[in-house]
Amino acid sequence: MTELLIPPLETDAPPRTPGRYRFGAPPWLLVLAALCAATAAIPLVYLVVRTTEAGLTELLDTLMRQRVLQLTVNTVLLAAAVTLSCLVLGTVCAWILTRIRLPFQRTLLLVSALPLAVPSYLAAYGWLVWFPHLNGFWASWFVMTMVCTPYVTLPVAAALRGASADLESVARTLGRGPLRAFAAATWPQIRPAAIAGALLVCLYSLSDFGLVSMLRFQTLTWGINAAYGASFDRNQAALLALVLVVLALVVVAGERHSRRQVSSVPGRSTMPARAPGRTWPVYVTVLLAAPLAGVVVPVVGLLTRLLEAETLRAIDVPRLVEAIGATLGLALAAAVIAVLVALPIAALAARYRGRLVAVIEAVGFLGHALPGIVVGLSLVFFALAAVPMFYQTSLVLVFAYVVLFMPRAIGSVRSGIAAVPTSLGDVSRMLGLSPFQAWWRVTARLALPGIAIGALLVAISAMKELPATLLLRPTGISTLATELWSRTALFEFGAAAPYAAALVLVAMVPAVLLSGIRGTAREN
Amino acid sequence: MGWVAIEALSVSYGDTRVLDDVSLRIPRGSLVAVLGPSGCGKTTLLRAVAGLLPVASGTITVGGRLVTGPGVQRAPEKRGMGWVPQDASLFPHLSVGENIGFGLPRTKQNDDLYCEPGETSGGVGGLLAGLTRRGRVARAPVRVSAPSSHLAAAPISPDRSRQTSRAARITELATLVGLTELVDRAPSQLSGGQAQRVSLARALAPRPDLMLLDEPFAALDPLLRSALRTEVAALLRGQHNTSLLVTHDQEEALSLADFVAVMRGGEILQFGTPADVYERPVDPWVAGFVGDTVELDGHWRDGRVECALGSLAADWMGVQSRSERSSGGPMGERGAASAPADGTSVRVLLRPEWLTLGARGSAQPTTDAVVTAIAYAGHDALVSFALADAEKTAVRARIAAPDLPRVGDRVTLGICQNALAYPLE
The CA distance from B380 to A28, in Å, is 60
Amino acid at A21: Y
The pLDDT confidence band at residue A263, using thresholds 50, 70 and 90, is: low
The CA distance from B210 to B222, in Å, is 27
* Percent over 70 (pLDDT), chain B: 81
Strand partners, B214: B246
Residue A522 to residue B202, Cβ atoms within 8 A: no
Say if residue A58's pLDDT is above 60. Answer: yes
Strand partners, B313: B304
Nearest CA in chain A to B98: A522
Cβ atoms of A97 and A111 closer than 8 Å: no
Model pLDDT, residue A325: 93
The pLDDT confidence band at residue A177, using thresholds 50, 70 and 90, is: confident
Domain boundaries, chain B: 1-290, 292-423
Q: Strands, E, within A439-517: which ranges?
A: none
Cβ atoms of B10 and B222 closer than 8 Å: no
The pLDDT confidence band at residue B71, using thresholds 50, 70 and 90, is: confident
Average pLDDT in the B73-83 region?
A: 89
Nearest CA in chain A to B200: A427
**H or E element in which residue B57 lies:** strand B57-62
Say if residue A412's pLDDT is above 60. Answer: yes
Write out chain A residues lying below 8 Å of B199, CB-based: 427
The pLDDT confidence band at residue A449, using thresholds 50, 70 and 90, is: confident
The CA distance from B216 to B97, in Å, is 20
Model pLDDT, residue B324: 46
**H or E element in which residue B269 lies:** strand B267-272
Going by the DSSP 8-state scheme, the letter that residue A235 receives in this structure is H
Say if residue B169's pLDDT is above 60. Answer: yes
Say if residue A516's pLDDT is above 70. Answer: no
Nearest CA in chain A to B55: A23
Write out chain A residues lying below 8 Å of B50, CB-based: 426, 430
Say if residue B130's pLDDT is above 60. Answer: no
Say if residue B110's pLDDT is above 60. Answer: no
Q: Which of B62, B51, B69 is nearest to B27 (CA)?
A: B62
**Most confident among A329-333, B9-13, B357-361, B389-393 (mean pLDDT):** A329-333
The CA distance from A155 to A160, in Å, is 9
B388–chain A nearest CA distance, Å: 51
Model pLDDT, residue B164: 56
| Model pLDDT for residues A460-512, shown as the tens digit of each residue | 889 989 999 998 988 888 899 999 888 888 878 888 888 988 988 888 777 77
Say if residue A16's pLDDT is above 50. Answer: no
Say if residue B125's pLDDT is above 60. Answer: no
Other C-beta atoms lying within 10 Å of the C-beta of residue A292: 16
Q: Which residue has the higher pLDDT, B160 or A110?
A: A110
Residue B50 to residue A23, Cβ atoms within 8 A: no
A444 touches chain B (CB under 8 A): no
Say if residue A232's pLDDT is above 70. Answer: no
User: Residue A477 contacts by C-beta under 8 Å, 6 or more apart in sequence?
Assistant: A326, A394
**Coil, helix or strand at residue B311:** strand
Q: How far apart are the first and last CA of chain A?
A: 24
Order across the sheet with B57-62: list the strands.
Answer: B16-26, B4-13, B57-62, B65-69, B72-73
A257–chain B nearest CA distance, Å: 29
User: Residue B109 contacts by C-beta under 8 Å, 6 or more apart in sequence?
Assistant: B137
**Coil, helix or strand at residue B47:** helix
Model pLDDT, residue B268: 92
Q: Chain B interface residues facing chain A, Cβ-Cβ under 8 Å?
A: 13, 47, 50-54, 75-77, 79, 81-83, 85-87, 89, 91-95, 102-103, 105, 117-118, 130-131, 133, 136, 185-189, 199, 202-203, 206, 212
**Most confident among A108-112, A273-277, A494-498, B252-256 (mean pLDDT):** B252-256
> In this complex, which of A23, A421, A431 lies closest to B202 when CB atoms are compared?
A431
**Coil, helix or strand at residue B216:** coil
Average pLDDT, chain A: 84
Average pLDDT in the A226-239 region?
A: 78
Model pLDDT, residue B331: 46
Cβ atoms of A474 and A398 closer than 8 Å: no
Domain B1-290 grouped into CATH 3.40.50.300: yes
The CA distance from B52 to A21, in Å, is 10
Beta-strand relationship, B259-264 and B267-272: antiparallel
Write out chain A residues lying below 8 Å of B51, CB-based: 429
**Coil, helix or strand at residue A268:** coil
The CA distance from B223 to B233, in Å, is 16
**H or E element in which residue B247 lies:** strand B243-247
Model pLDDT, residue A510: 77
Average pLDDT in the A377-387 region?
A: 88
Going by the DSSP 8-state scheme, the letter that residue B415 receives in this structure is E
φ/ψ of B313, rounded to 5, equals -65, 135
Residue B75 to residue A424, Cβ atoms within 8 A: no
Average pLDDT in the B277-283 region?
A: 92
**H or E element in which residue A200 lies:** helix A187-207
Write out chain A residues lying below 8 Å of B52, CB-based: 426, 429-430
A27 touches chain B (CB under 8 A): no
Say if residue B385's pLDDT is above 60. Answer: yes
> In this complex, which of A428, A432, A522 lies closest to B206 when CB atoms are compared?
A432
Model pLDDT, residue A279: 81
Model pLDDT, residue B330: 46
Say if residue A97's pLDDT is above 70. Answer: yes
Write out chain B residues lying below 8 Å of A419, CB-based: none
> In this complex, which of B81, B95, B105 lies closest to A430 when CB atoms are compared?
B81
Segment among A40-54, A321-335, B269-283 with least mean pLDDT:
A40-54
Model pLDDT, residue B210: 92
Amino acid at A119: P
**Coil, helix or strand at residue B62:** strand
Model pLDDT, residue B1: 55
The pLDDT confidence band at residue A14, using thresholds 50, 70 and 90, is: very low
Model pLDDT, residue A267: 58
Q: Which residue has the higher pLDDT, A142 or B72?
A: A142
Cβ atoms of A262 and A189 closer than 8 Å: no
Write out chain A residues lying below 8 Å of B117, CB-based: 431-432
Say if residue A80's pLDDT is above 90. Answer: yes
Cβ atoms of B337 and B318 closer than 8 Å: yes
**CATH architecture under which domain B292-423 falls:** Beta Barrel (2.40)
The 10 Å CB-count burial string (b at 16+, else e) for B145-178 is eeeeebebeeebeeeeeeebebeebbbbbbebbe
Say if residue B309's pLDDT is above 80. Answer: yes
Model pLDDT, residue A133: 86
| Model pLDDT for residues B178-208, shown as the tens digit of each residue | 888 999 999 988 988 899 999 999 999 988 9
Residue B318 buriedness (CB in 10 A; 0-12 / 13-18 / 19+):
middle
> In this complex, which of A427, A436, A522 lies closest to B89 when CB atoms are compared?
A427
The pLDDT confidence band at residue B274, using thresholds 50, 70 and 90, is: very high
Residue A434 to residue B131, Cβ atoms within 8 A: yes
Residue B53 to residue A23, Cβ atoms within 8 A: yes
**H or E element in which residue B68 lies:** strand B65-69
Write out chain A residues lying below 8 Å of B136, CB-based: 432
Length of chain B: 425
> In this complex, which of B50, B89, B188 lies closest to A521 when CB atoms are compared?
B188
Average pLDDT, chain B: 80
Write out chain B residues lying below 8 Å of A17, CB-based: none
Q: Which of A457, A477, A482, A117 is nearest to A325 (CA)?
A: A477
The 10 Å CB-count burial string (b at 16+, else e) for B251-287 is ebbbebbbbbbbbbebbbbbbbbbebbbbbbbbbebb
Say if residue B149's pLDDT is above 50. Answer: no
**What homologous superfamily does CATH list for A1-41+315-524?**
MetI-like (1.10.3720.10)
Average pLDDT in the B260-278 region?
A: 93
**H or E element in which residue B300 lies:** strand B294-301
φ/ψ of B375, rounded to 5, equals -100, 100
Say if residue B115's pLDDT is above 50. Answer: no
Going by the DSSP 8-state scheme, the letter that residue B146 receives in this structure is -
Model pLDDT, residue B120: 36
The pLDDT confidence band at residue A326, using thresholds 50, 70 and 90, is: very high
Q: Which of A195, A196, A205 is nearest to A74 (CA)?
A: A205
* Percent over 90 (pLDDT), chain A: 23
Average pLDDT in the B313-327 region?
A: 64
Q: Which residue has the higher pLDDT, B42 or A12?
A: B42
Model pLDDT, residue B276: 92
Q: Which residue has the higher pLDDT, A86 or B357?
A: A86
Residue B117 to residue A431, Cβ atoms within 8 A: yes
Length of chain A: 524
Going by the DSSP 8-state scheme, the letter that residue B354 receives in this structure is G
The CA distance from A179 to A95, in Å, is 12
**Coil, helix or strand at residue B362:** coil
Number of helical H runs and strand E runs in chain B: 11, 21
The CA distance from B314 to B304, in Å, is 5
A163–chain B nearest CA distance, Å: 30
Model pLDDT, residue B326: 45
> In sequence order, what DSSP letters do the residues of A348-380 get, joined into one string?
HHHH--SHHHHHHHHHHTHHHHS-HHHHHHHHH
Average pLDDT in the A113-129 region?
A: 86
The pLDDT confidence band at residue B145, using thresholds 50, 70 and 90, is: very low
- CA neighbours within 13 Å on the CB side: how many for A428? 24
Residue A434 to residue B75, Cβ atoms within 8 A: yes
**Coil, helix or strand at residue A499:** helix
Cβ atoms of B14 and B336 closer than 8 Å: no
Q: Which of B424, B422, B419, B385 is nearest to B312 (CA)?
A: B419
